[in-house]
Amino acid sequence: MNIQSITQYYRKHRKAIVTATSGLLYGGGWSLGYLTSFEMASAAILVLATIVGGYDIAKTAYHEVTNRTLGIKTLVTLAAIGAIVIGEYWEAAAVVFLFSLGSYLEGRTMRKTRTALQELLEMTPDTATVRRDGELQEVPAREVEEGEVVVVRPGGKIPVDGEVVDGESAVNQAPVTGESAPVHKADGDEVYAGTVNQEGALEIRTTGAGSDTTLERIIRRVEEAQEAQSPTESLIDRFAKYYTPAVIVLAIGAYAVTQNAILSLTLLVIGCPGALVIGPPVSIVSAIGNAARSGVLMKGGEHLERAGKIDLVAFDKTGTLTKGETTVADVEGFGVADDEVLSLAATAEKKSEHHLADAIVDAARERPTAATDGGAAVAQADETDASLQSIPGPDDFDVVAGKGVIAHTEGTEVVVGNRALLEDRDINVPSRIADYVREREERGETVVHVVRDGDIIGAIALRDELRKAAPGVVTALQDVGIETVMLTGDNERTAAAVAEEVGIDEYRAELLPEDKQTVIEAYQADGHVVAMVGDGINDAPSLATADVGIAMGAAGTDTAIETADMALMADDLDRIPYAVKLSKATRWNVLENVGLAVLTVTVLLAGVLTSYVTLAAGMLVHEASVLAVILNGMRLLRH
């Protein structure tokens, strides 16, 4: 080992080396004085132990004083200098050594907590196999260009974000989404860097590489969240700003009254607010790290603490409690053929971006095409995309938000929408049609009316299947005392049917996006701390208004990762009870740490005033309390 290597090793492990040297000198000096009569030599070694262990502490204390702030290291430095001045050399060395040891262990533990997620980055391979000029080449993963095709063999780790262009396989994407089961991937599906291809070979067209991958963005987001202070941390920081000078004043006052220097120095040591300052950040950092590894991104300590107070969770229906994969369940024509109703509705809805419109257009395209054979109509099943029905577009088209569409085609006005739209246009609904609509809505389906030139000619029933996890998630939240509410734009009967099937406490139906926001504000005015779970652009106002906005399916959606208070990387409702319980556990953990810190200082203060606590014992207990709150906070890593 050459000098350069030794220097690098010393710089890397300086804290541990200094602490160990200080401890050895302290042990040697104390033994020499206790076992022999070489008191001068013992004192010299103990002073040397104090200097070795206390140099960095005093240096920081100097900067604190010159910056007009008084911190823990200022108190320790004053205590050590004071102990040497009055001849209590072993006390000075003990205080410095114990503080250094505590700081070393604290720093090591905090680094381990903060860098837990970095292990995920190590799962991303350093190299990628890229198809260039018809040949496979192995290149550094960070140098893969957007649009290049990467080949990943079975069992290999995926080096880039991209879209599958060839092959089929199961991919373990737990590092990104927290999903425990592998996800089937085929042409057109998104895959993420750091995930593992388990079965077949995949060819992936790159959309992001190097630092521009979902996993890298998650790590950056989590690191920023871990640095953001919670309200409790900010409060304690403001408290410590005044508390530390008060401890110095108390120590000076105690000396003025008692003339007992040891008592004053001990007050300086036990008055250190170390456990109080370090406790909340450890809890917050541990919880945010745990959540990220489970596929839940928290925006920061402020939002995590607020989530710990949630007592009402509001769910959007479509795409949240349901799969968001709406399909046409039934078409009923009133005086006209069912196919004609569907075809006319599809033409009117062709330019709409609403999910119900997509379902109607898709159903119309997939209907059997009508062919002729010798003049007789013959139904023929579609087998290829080329045989799908062509849907003509409308001549003009208007969207009535939350109600439907009004279009014109070939001189005919076509209205497709709900009862509210029909009421707006004074269109009467005959009892026969109303009975049909009621029957379908009581099954949990959404029904739209199809109107041609003012007459209702048919109705289309659409169904969006519930997520299997929805009833269990609602029950899990109710079990921990949280109220559940469903907010939907659907009609009363459909909302009631879905709410009953899910087991939700309350529902609000026929809401426009701005109505959902108003409902959230009303719950807040009643004193509730509200979380809103949603996934669409329509939910943005209510997500922003809620105390905690929870976005679903954020993987691959940069906006959700960056803006949501809490983002579920996968469309996995089961993560919501987990995230809420983790938030509440974190809140209690922070309170436990604050309580332990305050109790420790109170007991030590009583011990000092009754002469049961010495300077070194005070420092030992103080450092023990710091380690205790760190270990307590780290329990959240395994919650």
358 classed as catalytic: no
Residue 329: partners with Cβ closer than 8 Å, 6 or more residues away: 440, 445, 461, 462, 463
Please, are residues 459 and 438 in contact by the beta-carbon 8 Å criterion?
Answer: no
Domain ranges of the chain: 3-118+223-284+587-638, 127-212, 297-322+466-584, 324-366+392-465
For residue 320, the model assigns a pLDDT of 85
Q: Lowest mean pLDDT: which of 201-215, 472-486, 530-544?
A: 530-544
Q: Is the pLDDT of residue 371 over 50?
A: no
Q: Lowest mean pLDDT: which of 69-78, 92-101, 186-195, 334-343?
A: 69-78
For residue 588, the model assigns a pLDDT of 93
Please, are residues 402 and 513 in contact by the beta-carbon 8 Å criterion?
Answer: yes
Identify the CATH homologous superfamily for domain 324-366+392-465.
Answer: Calcium-transporting ATPase, cytoplasmic domain N (3.40.1110.10)
For residue 378, the model assigns a pLDDT of 39
Give the 3-state secondary structure of residue 12.
helix
For residue 20, the model assigns a pLDDT of 94
Write the CA distances from 196 to 160, 266, 585, integer angstroms.
Answer: 11, 57, 32
Q: What is the DSSP string of 260-306?
A: -HHHHHHHHHHT--HHHHHHHHHHHHHHHHHHHHTTEEE--HHHHHH
For residue 370, the model assigns a pLDDT of 44
The predicted model gives 52-76 an average pLDDT of 86
Residues 252, 82, 14, 110: is their CA dihedral positive or negative? negative
Q: One of 133, 189, 316, 572 is an active-site residue; which one?
A: 316
For residue 384, the model assigns a pLDDT of 43
Q: What is the DSSP string of 221-246?
A: HHHHHHHSPPHHHHHHHHHHHHHHHH
Topology agreement, domain 127-212 and domain 297-322+466-584? no
Residue 635: partners with Cβ closer than 8 Å, 6 or more residues away: 286, 589
Query: Rounded to whole angstroms, how far apart are CA atoms 92 and 81?
Result: 7
How many other C-beta atoms are found inside a 10 Å radius of the C-beta of residue 7? 10
Fold of 127-212: 2.70.150
Q: Lowest mean pLDDT: which of 44-58, 102-116, 231-245, 549-563?
A: 549-563
Architecture of the domain whose range is 297-322+466-584: 3-Layer(aba) Sandwich (3.40)
Residue 440: partners with Cβ closer than 8 Å, 6 or more residues away: 329, 330, 447, 459, 461
Q: What is the reported pTM?
A: 0.71
33 band by pLDDT with thresholds 50, 70 and 90 = confident
